[in-house]
Amino acid sequence: MKITFIFALEFILNMLPKVNPLATKAWQALELRADAIGDKQLRTWFAEEPLRGESMVVSHEEIRLDYSKNRLDEETLLLLAELASACGLEEARDAFFGGELINETEHRAVMHPALRAPRDAHYLVEGVDVIPEVYRVLDQMESFCSTIHQGVKKGCTGKIFTDIVNIGIGGSDLGAVMVTEALRPYWVDGIQPHFVSNIDGNHLYQVLQKVNAETTLFIVSSKTFTTLETMTNAKSARAWFVQQMGSEAGVKDHFVAVSTNTEAVSAFGIDTRNMFEFWDWVGGRYSLSSAIGLSIALTVGFKNFRSLLDGMHAMDEHFRYAPLLGNMSVLMGLIGIWNINFLKMSTLAVLPYDQYLHRLPAYLQQLDMESNGKSVDRNGAPVHYATGPIVWGEAGTNGQHAFYQLIHQGTIEIPSDFIGVVKPSHPLPGHHNWLLANLIAQSRALMLGRTREEVLESGEKVSENVVPHKVFPGNRPSNTLLMKSLSPFALGQLIALYEHKVFVQGIIWNIYSFDQFGVELGKKLAVQIHPFLEDGRTDGSLDSSTNGLLAAIYDWK
Ligand code: F6P
């Protein structure tokens, strides 16, 4: 019965369009549109449309997107929406929320919205409602958090837990790090989180030097429970713990696991009653709302974790139901396509004007680049258009004193996402209006630029040979996202907004956004090279650079 159902689903799936975007009329029309727009200046758009900054805005709950400082108009947006429809965006969105196996190369559904849906919702994966399973684990997480926070669950020597060490990498680390940093004002008193990801022993070592084994809880977070970095760190942490305590007896009280792989968790020596499960329909970089968020819930309290999930759900619903051009994720996806494919800009700067969002660029790098860094389409053919951009960034004003020079006056045009928070989460006077002033000023400067005439009329004493250096080309596109506050709810909205933006772009580019085969080759070669380093030898079958590097390492060892 189940097999018949899978075949039926695959049949529906194969009916989904896998359209080469280049072959659509909308793509051709957009190319013409880009030619027609040429280098029309954003300052001209604003002069011609005095209400542009009010009309090119979409708000949802605690987040507001102003996309007016992009080099496009209503007609362009309509064509972009036409492109999205021609590429089957609406059908793909339905297939996604319908639990179809849209991650075809791994033969999996992609169902992270189920992780944050309300208890009475129904989300089907291969015809089975996954909500009861989701809530079984959420309830397990909630009760675990409360036993830790109330000091009911104690370490093996009877002391309460004070430190949490999450051991994981990629999707089992970046989201949790980003969110716990963002939600610092919500940290539960007496709990200090730590994150270890790098296989470089320095990462684990510096954490182990800070914590006391008796009061530390280790969370080994790995979807597969086979990842080299995580397993190496987990084994070293376990060995350190045993050495500190003088016996293995306490391991069961101090190590828990978050994984989809029960056998591997058990083989590692963690009691599966101390395992928090998630499922293969949750992609690693889409997993912070699953049990991978356990370190978040332990750090900020389950209530705040729930509020984060509620914000994500609010954005899921907005993405699912809002019309294309009133839909924040769709708009950001389409604007990205316009910048990348038609204005030929291949990068995106993420510029959060909030110190607590300092890990957002790193988190979005994995989300976007691991999802859409692809060059083969869903029909298996090479693509002949640009796909995922290079995503990078830094907390706002720090970036201003580092790389903004290039954004303003460099030869590369860089679209930017400015992210601001209206209500500060600190009480210090004299800071926040400056922060916001900088946020607004930078996107305005990028938009306006500064002409030669303006330099000359500025009243500044500028010698003739310096005048060209003081000119800013302007016309550099940006989005501005304003959040009401950096609350768990608003942060949840922001995260889901970007998740769905990536989805939109993947569909239009006709690529598979939910696999990541590009990370495998390097891992395989590391497994080949490791024995050479262990044995201290080189080999004629290796290339000369590899042999040279090995020899230099032996020399300096
Ligand atoms: O970097 C590759 C990757 O597979 C990511 O997609 C994933 O988030 C990360 O490794 C960690 O994987 P796991 O959770 O299975 O340890």
- Three-state secondary structure call for residue 554: helix
**What pLDDT does 429 receive?**
97
Residue type, 247: S
How deeply is 50 buried, as exposed, middle or buried, from its count of CB atoms within 10 A (0-12, 13-18, 19+)? exposed
Cα–Cα dist 504/515, whole Å:
16
Residues with CB under 6 A from ligand 1: 169-172, 222-224, 227, 230, 284-285, 370, 516, 519
For residue 134, give Cα distances in angstroms to 19, 112, 114, 141: 34, 10, 7, 11
Cα–Cα dist 167/401, whole Å:
33
C-beta neighbour count of 217 within 10 angstroms: 23
Local structure of residue 151 (DSSP, 8 states): T
State yes or no: pLDDT of 12 exceeds 70: no
Average pLDDT over residues 143-172: 98
Annotation says 523 is catalytic: yes
State yes or no: pLDDT of 289 exceeds 70: yes
Please pick, among 2, 401, 461, 524, the residue that the annotation labels catalytic. 401
Specify whether the CB–CB gap between 90 and 98 falls below 8 A: no
Annotation says 317 is catalytic: no
Residue having the nearest C-alpha atom to atom 5 of ligand 1: 170
State yes or no: pLDDT of 495 exceeds 90: yes
Q: Which of 56, 183, 109 shows the shortest CA–CA distance to 488? A: 183
Cα–Cα dist 281/49, whole Å:
45
Instruction: Determine the distance separating the centroid of ligand 1 and the alpha carbon of 300, expressed in angstroms.
Output: 24
**What pLDDT does 7 receive?**
47
Give the tens place of pLDDT for each residue, 315-363: 999 999 999 999 999 999 999 999 999 999 999 999 999 999 999 999 9
Give the model's confidence band at 14: pLDDT under 50 very low, under 70 low, under 90 confident, else very high: low
Cα–Cα dist 110/280, whole Å:
8
**What pLDDT does 16 receive?**
73
**What pLDDT does 461 receive?**
94
Please pick, among 62, 100, 370, 394, the residue that the annotation labels catalytic. 370
Residue having the nearest C-alpha atom to atom 16 of ligand 1: 222
**What pLDDT does 11 receive?**
46
Q: Closest ligand 1 atom, CA of 172?
A: 14
State yes or no: pLDDT of 370 exceeds 90: yes
Please pick, among 210, 384, 523, 530, the residue that the annotation labels catalytic. 523
Specify whether the CB–CB gap between 252 and 214 falls below 8 A: no
State yes or no: pLDDT of 184 exceeds 60: yes
**What pLDDT does 17 receive?**
81
**What pLDDT does 15 receive?**
57
What residues form DSSP beta bridges with 207? none
The fraction of the chain above a pLDDT of 70, given in percent, is 97
Cα–Cα dist 266/336, whole Å:
44
Q: Which of 273, 280, 267, 279 shows the shortest CA–CA distance to 238? A: 267
Cα–Cα dist 456/112, whole Å:
55
Give the tens place of pLDDT for each residue, 382-405: 999 999 999 999 998 999 999 999
DSSP notation for 248-278: STTHHHHEEEEES-HHHHHHHT--GGGEEE-
**What pLDDT does 4 receive?**
47
Give the tens place of pLDDT for each residue, 225-284: 999 999 999 999 999 999 999 999 999 999 999 999 999 999 999 999 999 999 999 999
Q: Which of 253, 154, 164, 270 shows the shortest CA–CA distance to 207? A: 164
What is the chain's mean pLDDT, rounded? Answer: 96
